[in-house]
Amino acid sequence: MKILGVGSGAREHAIAKKLSLSIYNPKIYWIGENKNPGIVRICMKSGGEFIQGSTTDPEVVSSTAKRFNVDFVFIGPEEPNFHAVPDHLERLKIPCIGANRSVALIEMSKAEMRRLQWEYDIPGKLLFQTFKSAEEAYLVLEKYADSLTWLQNVALKPARQAGGKGVKVVEDRQIYLHEEKQKFKSKHVSWLEGYMRGYGDIEDKILVEENVWGPEYTLQCFTDGTTVLGMPMVQDNKNAHEFDIGTETGGMGSISGPGMCLPFLTIREYEDSIRIIGKMVSAIQDKTGKRYHGVVAGQMMLTEVEGPTIIEMYSRLGDPEALNVLHTLKTDLVEVCLAIIDERLSKIRLEFEDKAVVVKAIAPKGYPDNRSLAIGHPVAVDEAKVSEIGCELFWASCNLHEDGRITTAGSRLVEILAEGETLPVASAQIEKAIPYVKLTDGWGLFHRSDIGSEALLKRREELAERVRRLYLYRVEKGTVGKRVDWLPGVGKVDPVSILKNGLRR
């Protein structure tokens, strides 16, 4: 058997490794923009090959698949999906684990995803408005600035998945800062308009969303369009520094287990989340008439208004979340892929080891705000030592050169994984491996030591408990998903109908 993988981060290193462990003993071929040393090694060992090339050009990927005559293609990141790589492969009758462009719209357009949710009445909805220009957005934000509370406390987003950039959450609850916050909103919607000029593939430009709060988690699933099989819940940690301080990154590390749930979430919340994801898959298939083959995931939050709530959808595995679930997956990944291709996923039993898993990313200083500073530093990793300690190292954003040198490529350099009976045990294990990842030119690296620690877990538990109590109160009173707002001189209003019909005083 021959398989071609697409992408070159730690997620793809983890996918390549899992595929290579299959009883089918496949030859692993790979195409990626960066020469990831971990993937290169797996390809060579299996008798396959690593090709450095574009992952978003359908011609390049499909000609590589044809050249090696592979049995199927596994797509790691989202951009190949958005660029119709799976569609192109499908036309050439090359099976592909990857959402085609039409269904991947649930990730590519955050605006479409929300519209779909409202149209099909799928739980986990948030109030939202989309705009084609900053001016249009600001007029609405300004008009309702002193009244509708949900438009005071908002998430301002690019309407498209834009590589983890541009989301700002603004809470305007203190009157003395009101003017400053308005100014900030105005400035940010202008920035978003400019930023979205780089993306010509979507009409909506700015998404303004109701602001919610609560613990976040990712629920990744395999789907063949009919069956949706859930993996263990994972929590990614986005902020650059300890205790959720600092700018948002692509993810500084993730926790999962033991079991299918996170320690601060319940099995009922897991099941409700799976149902929501299943409904999203049905809705997008119904809307587009296309089948969904691959991975679908909800990046979710437990909120007071809706319980399990979608923040955004993924049309692929998360990075670092992929590492957690692939590590404990007991079912042969190639079997899962073949079942997706033949649309017989309902016959597969997805089994996972009952372990707690922690992943921590190590990144060069400069990431994520000033990536040019984080590029080109020489790397020295004692991989033997890392595994001696009982950890596993996945290569992420770096490049392997002809002479064997490895240099940083600007994003997270490596991701280190450890398993344990509990999350704090696995977290402490990784700390022992950290000193064995170095840059030899003296440039700094950073990571988050707190991921999976007792102290951070306690925080998550307290937050989840607060939100859950409010949510369950709503369940009891039958007010889940209902919003009421107050307008001076008008009284109680329904913000949904105001947005639909305009404000009549």
Ligand X SMILES: Nc1ncnc2c1ncn2[C@@H]1O[C@H](COP(=O)(O)OP(=O)(O)OP(=O)(O)O)[C@@H](O)[C@H]1O
Q: Which of ligand X, Mg ion, none is residue 134 near (CB under 5 to 8 Å by kind)?
A: none
Please state the closest distance from residue 309 (CB atom) to Mg ion, in A: 13
Q: What crossing angle do the helices spanning 267-288 and 110-119 adopt, rounded to 10°?
A: 100
What is the identity of the amino acid at 23?
A: I
Q: Is 339 in the site for ligand X (CB under 6 A)?
A: no
Q: Of 115 and 238, which has the nearer Cβ to Mg ion?
A: 238
Q: Is 126 in the site for ligand X (CB under 6 A)?
A: yes
- Comparing C-alpha atoms, which of 297, 86, 111 is closest to residue 204? 111
Q: Is 312 in the site for ligand X (CB under 6 A)?
A: yes
DSSP string for residues in 176-245: GGHHHHHHHHHHHHHHHHHHHTT--S-S--EEEEE---S-EEEEEEEESSS-EEE---EEE--EEEGGGE
- Comparing C-alpha atoms, which of 264, 240, 234 is closest to residue 252? 240
Q: Of 125 and 327, which has the nearer Cβ to ligand X?
A: 125
Please state the closest distance from residue 120 (CB atom) to ligand X, in A: 19
Q: Is 172 in the site for ligand X (CB under 6 A)?
A: no
Q: Is 311 in the site for ligand X (CB under 6 A)?
A: yes
Please state the closest distance from residue 312 (CB atom) to Mg ion, in A: 5
Residue 394 CA to residue 383 CA, distance in Å, equals 10
Q: Which of Mg ion, ligand X, none is residue 209 near (CB under 5 to 8 Å by kind)?
A: ligand X
Which range of residues in 98-106, 203-211, 357-365, 370-378 is near ligand X by CB under 6 A? 203-211
Q: Is 12 in the site for ligand X (CB under 6 A)?
A: no
- # residues contacting ligand X (CB under 6 A): 17
Q: Is 169 in the site for ligand X (CB under 6 A)?
A: yes
Using only C-alpha atoms, the chain has a radius of gyration, in whole angstroms, of: 23
* 464 token code pair: 């989840």
Q: Of 167 and 445, which has the nearer Cβ to ligand X?
A: 167
Residue 54 CA to residue 51 CA, distance in Å, equals 9
Which range of residues in 89-97, 204-212, 386-394, 497-505 is near ligand X by CB under 6 A? 204-212
Contacts of Mg ion in 275-314 (CB under 5 A) = 299, 312
- Backbone CA torsion sign across 301, 307, 309, 315: positive
Q: Which of 49, 136, 248, 335 binds ligand X (CB under 6 A)?
A: 248
Pair 292, 284: CB distance under 8 Å: yes
Q: What DSSP state is assigned to residue 439?
A: E
Q: What crossing angle do the helices spanning 134-143 and 178-196 adopt, rounded to 10°?
A: 160
Q: Which of 78, 87, 193, 216 binds ligand X (CB under 6 A)?
A: 216
Q: Is 299 in the site for ligand X (CB under 6 A)?
A: yes
Does 258 sit behind a cis peptide bond, omega within 30 degrees of 0 on the bond before it?
A: yes
Please state the closest distance from residue 33 (CB atom) to ligand X, in A: 18
Q: Of 250 and 294, which has the nearer Cβ to Mg ion?
A: 250
* 221 token code pair: 């699933």
- # residues contacting Mg ion (CB under 5 A): 2
Q: Which of ligand X, Mg ion, none is residue 155 near (CB under 5 to 8 Å by kind)?
A: ligand X
- Comparing C-alpha atoms, which of 65, 68, 73, 12 is closest to residue 38? 12
Q: Which of 65, 167, 326, 437 binds ligand X (CB under 6 A)?
A: 167
Greatest pairwise CA separation for the chain in angstroms: 74
Q: Of 116 and 433, which has the nearer Cβ to ligand X?
A: 116
Q: Is 211 in the site for ligand X (CB under 6 A)?
A: yes
Which residues of the chain form contacts with ligand X (CB under 6 A)? 126, 155, 157, 161, 164, 167, 169, 209-212, 216, 238, 248, 299, 311-312
Which residues contact Mg ion by CB under 5 A? 299, 312
